Structure 1
Amino acid sequence: MTSAPVAAPPGSATDRALASRLPSLTGLRWIAALLVFGFHAGTMRIIAEPDYQAVVGKVFTLGLSGVQFFFILSGFVLVWSARPGDSRRRFWRRRFAKIYPNHVLLWALAMGAAVWFADPINPVAALENLFLIQAWDPRPGYFYSVNNVSWSLSCELFFYLCLPLVLPLVRRARPWQLWAVVIAVPLLILALWPAQTLVPEQSRWWFTQVFPLVRSLEFWMGVAAAELMLRGRWRGPGLPLASLIFVVTWVAAAEWIRAEFWAALLAAAYVLVIAAAADADVRGRRSPLRSRPMVWLGEVSFAFYLVHVFVIMTILRITGDWGTGLPGWWGPAAVIGFLALTLGLAALVHRFVEQPMMRRLAPRRSPPAVQPGR
């Protein structure tokens, strides 16, 4: 169990660097992105062979919760890396510089593809998507529009706008209040199932899966957990046990637990493994998540997330396999190929768009620090 305060890192220079950067959380970002990729690989009909499709679908049946993982992780990282005296404008500018250049690039590519394929373009939905307000629009075809996965950026933008306004209250909150948030969020997620009957049936998916106010629950869970850890008040398992809890929860949720329960359980499992990974870095304990390959994969994960659906959909439409899938072993081979291709393109976007635009648009940092979260 984590019991000693973690706000002050151990004395060595290496330990202090780990404590400030939390590279294990960067590695966790790749796992979250991979879960989402697997979910889309299983739902976008890449594989025509039913038996092969069933395997991918079974392994990644809960992959959509990778976005939930991202939201909790984002709240944790942003509170951990918040600087005393940092202005709201500087915070918002850094967040804008991080997400918007990649978003605009993929928006332009998706709009170009729509013109190429002669798809009808809804100008209102396209503009909502460009300005990242589409998640507030419950109409079908609006919140999932242009580059569909950017709906989560619309939620993140809302979180970013709120955090500097709420953070002073978080800093003054008592530990029991922070623990109340961590414990209450899974219960509130569970309560969404009966609550969705209060909205029109055609908007229920949007209400539970997209609506920024609802999805902010996961973000605030990460915020509260990070504040508890900064104060040395977090109590949770170490990384090996937290990882085991995560795997067991994932398997149990996929096999035996009804859909209305698994999101709440996974939220609890995710916050445990995020806090445990951060604690391992603070204490300088062994963590495979901060290996060089995992950190690199985590660094390109944001670009990977934004690129992957666009790449899969565009190539399948060009080859004429969209909606039908590829026969036999061609299907699984295509999934592996899409994974490799998307990763390569994400590395290029990260290197030639994300990093240069961060240097150009973000305010200068003193002292410089590397943020592990999106």
Structure 2
Amino acid sequence: MNKSHILPLTSIRFFAAIFVLFSHLDFFKNTPFYFIYVKEGFIGVTLFFILSGFVLSYSYQEKLLSGEKNKFAFYTARIARIYPLHILTLLFTLFFLYQNESIKEILSNIFLLQALIPKASYYFSLNAPSWSISVELFFYLCFPFLITKSSKTLIKITVIILILKILLSEINISEKATHAYIYISPILRLPDFIIGILIFRLRFNKLNVNISTYQVVIVQTLSICLFLLFIYYSHMVNIKYRFDIYYIIPMSILIISLSYSNGIITKTLSNKTLVLLGESSFSLYMIHQLIIRFIIENKTFFGSNFYMLSSILAISIFGSIFIYKYYELPMKKIVVNLLKKYKSKGNLIPFII
């Protein structure tokens, strides 16, 4: 049985991507547009990771456990979702923004292995934001196995990894090591994804009740306020904890509250335009830094900071919608069909059969 999409959770992906985009506008800090730079914008990635666990559980957990879909179907859908756009942005970088990356760094990008290598020259090479889909691919590989585990087991795994992260955070390690292990490492980011699975189970097993529109509005308003409050006081917390641990609770509450279908906030976030922007958020996330880099390298053509900023936002947003509609969706169908064809010929590796 196909479940309807939870539209508000699609829409907030756009805001997560915009947060990340604004965090990469640091070159505006000393201009009249200093306010556009969002220092805490990297938390958009954490929101993506938690949302990923929640939405994949909502879409696939029942189907995989019941046998309605097998691991091959799941992996095929995930690869078709991320790989075509990844290759497109990688090729654009190689042709227009190449910075003498080595063959090893390029190969690690092609196979989305860069996040597993704790060196910035690898995980931030070529199209730097693609490090996070390297992490996502790790999550995808783990997902069919994680959903077979009890919530208690998942909580234990999460607690163990979080304790390890806290211990690492308290050790006086370099900024490079902090980035490589606490922010980038797929294994140490796994709690974000597992928490998404756990709050899905909490929402639809324990909190799957009808509540009034008035109650939904109150809960959603408070969850948004709580999230903003955490951002406001973030300067008081060490960056090592702000990468994800600090935001886990407010983000989880926000996602749960927005999963209810009634209320004015839900209706607003279910607006067709916002939903389309949310659907295009992966494209926005993947192309925005390339556009920023290209415009900076050609800033004499764009002239003033105003035109640079306007161009970055317009090209990123409208370009992402165009790519989603005319590249992502068609390529997803093509890749799914190709993978099915190769599987039927026995050419795919055994673990996805």
Q: Structure 1, residues 66-108: CA drift from partner, whole Å, max 9, x if none?
A: 1011000001000011123110110000000000000000000
Partner of 2:348: none
Partner of 2:87: 104
**1:312 matched to 2:300:** no
Contact 1:24 1:290 in 2 (8 A): yes
Partner of 2:41: 63
Q: Structure 1's 309 and 158: CA in aligned 2 closer, same or farther, altered over 3 A?
A: same
- For residues 268-279 of structure 1, the aligned pairs below 5 Å read 268-278=249-259
Q: Structure 1, residues 291-337: CA drift from partner, whole Å, max 9, x if none?
A: 1121011010000000000011012112359xxx97xxx32552233
Choose between structure 1 and 2 for higher RCO, CA contacts under 8 A separated by at least 6 residues. 1
Cα offset, 1:30, TM superposition: 0.6
Partner of 2:305: 331
Give the whole-Å Cα distance in 1 for the aligned partners of 2:167 and 2:219: 29
Partner of 1:244: 225
Partner of 2:190: 216
Q: Structure 1's 184 and 38: CA in aligned 2 closer, same or farther, altered over 3 A?
A: farther
- For residues 85-96 of structure 1, the aligned pairs below 5 Å read 85=67, 86-96=69-79
Q: Percent identity?
A: 25
Aligned-residue Cα RMSD (Å) equals 2.9
Give the whole-Å Cα distance in 2 for the aligned partners of 1:206 and 1:196: 14
Q: 1:193 aligns with which of 163, 166, 169?
A: 169
Q: Number of aligned pairs?
A: 323
Q: 2:17 aligns with which of 28, 33, 54?
A: 33
Q: 1:141 aligns to what SS in structure 2?
A: helix
1:251 partner letter: Y
* Unaligned 5+ runs, structure 2: 210-215, 338-353
* Unaligned 5+ runs, structure 1: 1-15, 364-374
Give the whole-Å Cα distance in 2 for the aligned partners of 1:292 and 1:95: 24
Give the whole-Å Cα distance in 1 for the aligned partners of 2:5 and 2:188: 29
Q: 2:309 aligns to what SS in structure 1?
A: helix
**1:148 matched to 2:128:** yes
Q: Structure 1, residues 108-159: CA drift from partner, whole Å, max 9, x if none?
A: 00000145xxx42311101100110001111231111111110001000000
Give the whole-Å Cα distance in 2 for the aligned partners of 1:358 and 1:271: 29
Partner of 1:354: 328
Partner of 1:231: 205
Give the whole-Å Cα distance in 1 for the aligned partners of 2:251 and 2:231: 10
Q: 1:21 aligns to what SS in structure 2?
A: coil
Q: Counting helix residues as a fraction of each chain, which structure ranks higher? A: 2
Q: Structure 1's 192 and 79: CA in aligned 2 closer, same or farther, altered over 3 A?
A: farther
Q: Structure 1's 220 and 234: CA in aligned 2 closer, same or farther, altered over 3 A?
A: farther
TM-score, with structure 2 as normaliser? 0.82
Q: Structure 1's 181 and 228: CA in aligned 2 closer, same or farther, altered over 3 A?
A: farther
2:246 partner letter: L
1:65 partner letter: I
1:68 partner letter: T
Give the whole-Å Cα distance in 1 for the aligned partners of 2:168 and 2:310: 36
Partner of 2:343: none
Cα offset, 1:26, TM superposition: 0.3
Partner of 1:77: 55
Cα offset, 1:205, TM superposition: 1.6
Cα offset, 1:178, TM superposition: 6.0
Cα offset, 1:191, TM superposition: 4.4
Contact 2:114 2:122 in 1 (8 A): yes
Q: Structure 1's 143 and 241: CA in aligned 2 closer, same or farther, altered over 3 A?
A: same
Question: Which has the larger displacement, 202-211 or 65-74?
Answer: 202-211
Question: Which has the larger displacement, 101-110 or 266-275?
Answer: 266-275
Give the whole-Å Cα distance in 2 for the aligned partners of 1:188 and 1:275: 27
1:240 partner letter: T
TM-score, with structure 1 as normaliser? 0.78
Cα offset, 1:354, TM superposition: 0.4
Partner of 1:369: none
Q: 1:20 aligns to what SS in structure 2?
A: coil
Contact 2:146 2:154 in 1 (8 A): no
Contact 1:37 1:308 in 2 (8 A): yes
Cα offset, 1:177, TM superposition: 5.7
1:160 partner letter: Y
Partner of 1:207: 181
Cα offset, 1:56, TM superposition: 3.1
Give the whole-Å Cα distance in 1 for the aligned partners of 2:167 and 2:42: 19
